[in-house]
Structure 1
């Protein structure tokens, strides 16, 4: 019988510079009734420390995965049942990475480092690898936000036999860009699905940072035939779930 992975994707408020609040938010989603039977929960890009691409914020908040600070994060999420995938700012020596952590039972399973960086992400180094992971018998990989603009990023995951692509995203944009992109994100992601025939599940933020920046999402599930089968309503904090087979 083909394995089925029960996935939840969380559309969260933007939390900047408050790891404790981010973990409280994460735990709140994991403890919801609809999350009790899930195998995996996905959170947005840069979720742990907040996606504020300014050198002061990045250098003060970045975490080495071998640090005491990251060990405290792992202890905090240990009681949560689902595997967790969440964005964070990673430090490795003098390098900073826009990364996603894969955590199960309070243990770090692995890390994906964003391979395609925007012009505004010049303080990050680009990742070079596309690790894949297995949860409940289903292999998955990760592309972070802008990665999905590049066919080769999804293809590198699909080429390893993955059936699911997870996309932590963070589309808190200047208002004029947010308006232009409001209904385009899932179209780009659907094109990657058409090419690879993988499921795709994304998680994003929503709300307003200030008068100039706004985020609407989307947080969605796209089936291998490129249909959007579930989505959290735009501009709404919430969770969408799906059985990926």
Structure 2
């Protein structure tokens, strides 16, 4: 039996009540479609930064602790569904770009973004690990946007047993050389390339979600998708808001992909 996966493309703002209502609507949509794993983008509660070139602490989204009532509301909304979503996490004086994976029973896994582009690293603290975790729909790992630029991130999750990797993104068009057409933008090509490469090199299912619309001077790509273990895109949203939904027999797909060439088993870490 296949796993029904949804990769969300949507926009979010500094208005937390608006964001919460949009999350609720997306979860309701996913439930109608019998989605079992719903991956929302990065920064769904409070939106992303307005400016990556010179961000300040005043530019940060509202910071939430794990026991914040808004987090509890998303957990309650999830119910039987496994839901991944991103937000700005407060931990004492530090602020993290964080992804949570939850069901109605509580938190299943947390990932704090490890790799940070220049603008982020001045105001966000960095995470320090990539670990898989067990869920009702299988073993999952999470990354947050720029993490997927680094092959070691997805590889660490796959080695830790993750069959599905959720990559939650706030990925904009090029800041320095934006193309007139979004599908011709350099970052658009890289976004798809990284998604397909990380899935194929690790022979896993990759679920890539992303913001849409604009915040400050940033324009987000969308292009949410579900990618099979051969690097094939099985569902996508392109640049518009929506949910890319695919039913994937994860175990069967992984076994087929690894039948002859088993990338994880054929590694030679002693020579790297």
Offset at residue 130 of structure 1 (A):
1.6
Distance in 2 (CA, whole Å) between partners of 1:33 and 1:188 is 26
Q: Gapped runs of 5+ residues in structure 1?
A: none
Distance in 2 (CA, whole Å) between partners of 1:164 and 1:33 is 18
Offset at residue 76 of structure 1 (A):
5.1
Question: Cα–Cα, structure 1 residues 33 and 192, in superposed 2: closer, same or farther, change >3 Å?
Answer: closer
Distance in 2 (CA, whole Å) between partners of 1:47 and 1:158 is 26
Alignment partner of 1:190: what SS? helix
Larger radius of gyration: 2
Q: How many residues align?
A: 236
Distance in 1 (CA, whole Å) between partners of 2:2 and 2:189 is 30
Indicate the residue corresponding to 2:71 in structure 1: 73
Indicate the residue corresponding to 1:99 in structure 2: 98
Distance in 2 (CA, whole Å) between partners of 1:199 and 1:76 is 25
Indicate the residue corresponding to 2:62 in structure 1: 61
- Note if 1:120 corresponds to 2:103: no
Distance in 1 (CA, whole Å) between partners of 2:59 and 2:102 is 24
- Note if 1:143 corresponds to 2:143: yes
- Note if 1:218 corresponds to 2:219: no
- Note if 1:184 corresponds to 2:181: no
Q: Is the 8 A contact 1:74 1:108 kept in 2?
A: no
TM-score, with length taken from structure 1 = 0.88
Question: Cα–Cα, structure 1 residues 228 and 17, in superposed 2: closer, same or farther, change >3 Å?
Answer: same
Distance in 2 (CA, whole Å) between partners of 1:206 and 1:20 is 18
Offset at residue 34 of structure 1 (A):
6.1
TM-score, with length taken from structure 2 = 0.80
Indicate the residue corresponding to 1:28 in structure 2: 25
Q: Is the 8 A contact 1:5 1:136 kept in 2?
A: no
Give the aligned CA root-mean-square deviation in angstroms: 2.1
Distance in 2 (CA, whole Å) between partners of 1:126 and 1:143 is 13
Indicate the residue corresponding to 1:239 in structure 2: 243
Indicate the residue corresponding to 1:228 in structure 2: 233
Q: Is the 8 A contact 2:131 2:156 kept in 1?
A: no
Question: Cα–Cα, structure 1 residues 106 and 57, in superposed 2: closer, same or farther, change >3 Å?
Answer: farther
Question: Cα–Cα, structure 1 residues 243 and 114, in superposed 2: closer, same or farther, change >3 Å?
Answer: same
- Note if 1:47 corresponds to 2:44: yes
Distance in 2 (CA, whole Å) between partners of 1:99 and 1:47 is 11
Indicate the residue corresponding to 2:133 in structure 1: 133
Q: Is the 8 A contact 2:42 2:144 kept in 1?
A: yes
Residue range with higher mean Cα deviation, 198-207 or 182-191? 182-191
Q: Is the 8 A contact 1:4 1:136 kept in 2?
A: no
Question: Cα–Cα, structure 1 residues 79 and 182, in superposed 2: closer, same or farther, change >3 Å?
Answer: closer
Q: Gapped runs of 5+ residues in structure 2?
A: 50-54, 180-184, 251-272
Indicate the residue corresponding to 1:108 in structure 2: 107
Indicate the residue corresponding to 1:12 in structure 2: 10
Distance in 1 (CA, whole Å) between partners of 2:124 and 2:214 is 24
**Any idea what the Cα deviations from partners look like across 1:61-108, whole Å, max 9, x if unmatched?**
111213xxx234313541433121101101111111111011210622
**Any idea what the Cα deviations from partners look like across 1:114-164, whole Å, max 9, x if unmatched?**
111111112111111223222334111011110011111001100111111
Q: Is the 8 A contact 1:78 1:105 kept in 2?
A: yes
